[in-house]
Every structure is written in structure tokens, then in C-alpha cells.
Chain A
Amino acid sequence: MEQESTKYTKLGIFVLIGIIFFIFILALIGRQNNVFESTFRIYARFSNIEGLQKGSNVWFSGVKIGVVKDVVIESTDAVKLELKLSDDLQRFIKKDATAKIGSDGLLGNKIVVISGGTEEASPVAEGDMLEASSGLNTDDLLATFKITNDNLAKITDDVSVMLTDIRQGKGSVGSLINDSLIYKDLKASMNSANLATRNSARITQDLSKLVNGINQGEGMVGAILKDTSYENRIDHTLVDIEKTAKEAAVTSQKLNEMSSELKSLMAKLDDPDATVGKLLTDSAFAQTLEESMTNLKESSSELDKTLEAAQESFLLRRRIFRRNKEDRGKDK
């Protein structure tokens, strides 16, 4: 038989631990619901609270700061929420902060999310009304999903038709896949491309060798680039070229002058009053000249005849014979 005092002590400990556990549970729940904290109340008005209830959580920067204390329907499109928030955090929530309805996960409960607010703005006061912003509504999300699904269905149909066409050999891709001739052409093209690539590789290799040779001073280009003695020669050549260029410039100037003189000469030739101009342009003068020439020709012919007669005369025969003989002797 246990002594009564021991029994009662054990009972006392049992009850005490039970009460401590009870207080622990109450404290945990109280902390979750801000029961034992000093709080303040602000309001937010929404057109649609998407199933939010009394007791739903209020988050600020991802931290739970309070609960929805009351939900009041004010009119057909206005629902006022009373938010009970922890007093310690009042200074962080500014008057220009916004409230929106969110969710604490994809399948989570609805929550009120307070965000924004500038440092310059003053903190909210008891009874203030926060500006409500529309967040991502589940209905909107589902509507977007529906549009996306419809588009996806259309795309799937198109792809199905396209694949059928390709399988039937229609279009460029269908021909490419199904036509063996195109395949052969493609293969030949690929072979050519391979060959071209090999050639390119060889050319590149040759170019590399050439550049190496030039770098090592081989050949004329290499010598020019690498041999320092060429430098003086090139300098001289450049000086000569410069000199030649200067002379060419002088010559060009002279040619210009000559050209202008020629131009003035030509102008004189074109002048009908000048003798040469008249010779070139005056047809009456040309006719006179032609007649004179004709006369001269006739006179010359007459003179030839006269000379032939003179050569046959005894007075000049001897003299002419002697001159011919001297000419032949000179030729020999």
C-alpha cells in the first residue's frame, strides 16, 4: 500500500504536467492567432475575396503578421475585411501599402497579402483603409488555362495534319523524307560539301605554310617583310617615286599648257578669216586652190616634156651623162 503523501505527490505532478501542456497548447495557438499580443486593426475593401474567411492569415513580406478578424459585405461589389495585426509591426506597414488576396500555396488557403509601401510614407494608424489591388485570381488563371488549352489543341491538330502530309510525302519536308532521289542528291551534296571542306582544309594548311614561310623571311614577300636591308632600298624607291611623281606633275602642267596652246591653235584653224582656216573651211578658196593645183600639174607635165626635150638636146646631153655616171659611182 503506497503512502498517501507519495500518492498525492505523484498525482500533483501528473496534474501539473497536464496543466503545463495545456498552457503550452494554448500559448502556441494564441501565438498563431495573436491572442496574447497587443494588436491594431486596419481595413481593406475588395470586390471579390475569393473564399477568404474569418481567421484567415495576413502576410507581410512573406511573414504572418495577423488574421482576418471580420468579413463584412457592404454592397453588391464591395467586401470589407477587418485585419487584426500585431502591434510590433505597425511601423513597417505604410499608408501607401496595398492589400491583395493571395494563397499560401497552389492548393493552399486564401490569405491577405500586404505589400509595397514607400519609406517616405507614414505608418498606418488604427482604422486606416488599405488600398486593395487585384492579385492573381483563380478564375482568371483557369480562364487563361482554357485559352492555352484551346491553342494547344489547335497546334496539336495542325501538327497532326502536318505529320500526315509529311508521311504521305507532300511538301518539301515530305519529299525530303520519302523521296529516295532527293536523298541521293542530298548525299551527293553532302559528299561535295565534304570534299569542299577537305579542300578548304588543305588550302588553309597551304596558307598557313605560306604565312609561316613569310614569317620566316622566305621568298620575296618574306624578304621584303623580314630583311632590314630592303628597308633602305624601299626608302630610295619611294624617294624616286616621289621625284617621278613631282616630274610627272610638272610634265602634266606643261601638257596642260600645250593643250591650251593647241586649243588656241585649233581656234585659229577654225577662224575663216585666217589663211589656214580659209584653207580648211572656205570652199571657194578650195576650188581656186584645186584649179591652181590642176594648173600646176599641167604645168609640171609640160615642164617634164620640156626637160625630156632638153635632155635630148646636144647642149645638155654630155652634162647629164656625166652627172648620172657620178651618181652611180656614189652608189657603189
Chain B
Amino acid sequence: MQNTSLSQANPTSEDTSKPRKARGPKWWIDFLVDLAGIYLFVVRFFKDLFRPPYEFKEVLNQCYIIGYKTLPLIAFTAYIGGIVFTRQSRPSLESFGAVSWLPSLVGVGIIRSLGPLIAGLIGAGKIASNIGAELGSMKVTEQIDAMEVSGTNPFTFLVITRVLACSLMLPILVIFTDILALLGGFTNVYFGEGVSFSLYFSQAFSTIEMEDIFASTLKSVLFGFSIGIIGCYKGFTSKKGTVGVGKAANSSVVMSMFMVFVIDLFTLQIMTFIRNILYS
């Protein structure tokens, strides 16, 4: 039963080993097969999400690895990103005497776009590669098959827990990214213009609205979900051998990063649509 359901959700793991008779370039066929596989993976995720057994402990364990362990890297990157973004924005504002608008610009830039993007990309690099490599090595060493044999649902234990942890931790990581990037911006503005902490944060949030926070949170949940799903899918569908593991990790990162930008654009369009409805 477990085996059947897994093979349904993961058609490429078994079927791709057989010679295909499809027409067109190979990368195009692979892309379509991946797309279909991910779609079935997502469908199965939502099917199994509310079906027992619930692996709470494993979810917490994954939250610790995905959230807490990723924090130092994301925090450092966000702080530096904030400083660089502020520093690079200053000359443009200086050219028409609007340096006092720097906190507002930094606030809008970080909350709306830069913060989620930094967290998403760093998450894609660290988390997706980690999941892809971990599940890939479990696949090639037949641990997943062993789990099935021992009566544990590998999808629930490995996939749902990781995807859930990613979806829950990414928003928190985005909040940390926003705050630390704003602190980086404050460092630069403080040493540049001597703006006080309270004035900086007051100005930084003066043009931010609730919709921006909603968009940022929605975006980060989708980033986490896509990173988790892609990492798990690539790990689950990795081919035999160590090369397959490396390839799974690599393609997880590449596809996750690509999806981060696609989701960024997607949420932007959704938010523009929502804003138009709200303000019309």
C-alpha cells in the first residue's frame, strides 16, 4: 500500500529508468516530468498532511535544523545585505537632496522585497541542498525502502515533517532577516547622518502598511513550502549512486532558487490585485 502510493506520487523514480519514446529535447522532457512529479508530490502532501500518524517530534526536530541552525547564516547575510543596500541607495538619493528619505526607502525595500528574498535564497541554498542530499542519500542507500518495510510511512516521516518545518520556519527567518537588515541599514545611516534609532525605525515603517507584512508573510510561507517540496522531491527521485545524491542536492538548490523568484513575482501580482480591490 505504502509502496503503491509512493510510486504514484513519485512516477519518475521508477518510470524514468525505462527507455522513453517521447519526442523533443531531453531537458524539455525532464522538465515536464519534474513538473508532473512535483504536482503529484504536492497533492500527496495535502492528502497525507491531516492523516495520522502525526510526527510532531520530527517536525520539531526539523524546525530546529531548518530554523535555528540556519539563523546565523541568514542573520549575518541580512545584516550585511542591509548595510550594502543602504550604502548603494544613498548616492541616488543624494543626487536630488533626499537623503532624509533613506530610512523610508530602506524600510520599503527590505520589508517588501529584500528581506524575504535574502531569506528565500539563503534558505534555498542551505535547506534545499540539505534536504535533497539527505533524502537522496537515504534513497540510494535504500533507507527509505527499509522504512516502508518496517511499517513507517516515509512520506509522512520524511516529507511532510520537512515541508511543514520549512513552511513554518521561513516566515520566522524572514522576520529575523527584516529586522537584522534594517539594523544593518541603521548602522549605515547612523554613521552617515547620525539618525537616532527611534527616528530611523519610525521613518522606516512610515510607508509600510499591513498589506506589506501580509504579502511578506505569504511570500515566506510559499518560499518555505517550495523549498521543502523541491528538496524532498529531488531527494526522493535521486538515482542510484553518489553522483545521483550530488545531482539531487544541486538541482534542489537551482530549482528552489528559481522558484523563489517565480513565487516573488507571483505574490507581487496577487498583492497588486488585492491592493486594487482594496483601494478601488
The residues of A with any CB-CB pair to B shorter than 8 Å are 7-8, 10-11, 14-15, 17-19, 21-22, 24-26, 28-30, 32-33, 35, 53-55, 107
Contacts and interface: CB of A to CB of B under 8 A. Distances in A.
B176 A21 contact: yes
Interface in B81-100: 96, 98
B279 interface: yes
Interface of B: 60-61, 63-64, 67-68, 71, 96, 98, 111, 171-173, 175-176, 178-179, 201-202, 205-206, 208-210, 212-213, 278-279
Contacts of A18: 171-173, 175-176
B279 A14 contact: no
B277 to A, nearest CB: 12
B67 A11 contact: yes
B213 A25 contact: yes
A107 B96 contact: yes
16 contacts: A7-B64, A11-B63, A11-B64, A11-B68, A14-B71, A18-B175, A18-B176, A21-B176, A22-B175, A25-B175, A26-B210, A29-B205, A32-B206, A32-B208, A107-B96, A107-B98
Contacts of B179: 21, 24-25
B279 A33 contact: no
Given A14-B71, A15-B172, A32-B205, A25 B64 contact: no
A11 B210 contact: no
A22 B67 CA distance: 16
A270 B68 CA distance: 148
Nearest to A8: B60
A22 B173 CA distance: 11
Contacts of B67: 11, 14-15
A191 B76 CA distance: 81
Contact of A29 (B61, B175, B208): B208
Contacts of A29: 205, 208-210, 212-213
A103 B219 CA distance: 33
B96 A33 contact: no
Interface centre among A22, A30, A107 (most CB of B within 10 A): A22
Contacts of B71: 14
Contact of A35 (B60, B205, B210): B210
A7 B61 CA distance: 8
A14 B175 contact: no
B205 A28 contact: yes
A177 to B, nearest CB: 41
A56 B164 CA distance: 39
A224 to B, nearest CB: 76
A15 B279 CA distance: 34
B62 to A, nearest CB: 10
A215 B175 CA distance: 93
> In the complex, which of the residues A19, A28, A30 has the most CB atoms of chain B within 10 Å of its own CB atom?
A28
Contacts of A33: 209-210
Contacts of B212: 29
A21 B175 contact: yes
Nearest to A67: B209
Question: Which among A15, A19, A25, A55 has the highest number of chain B CB atoms within 10 Å?
Answer: A25
A11 B172 CA distance: 11
Contact of A11 (B60, B173, B202): B60
Contacts of B202: 28, 32
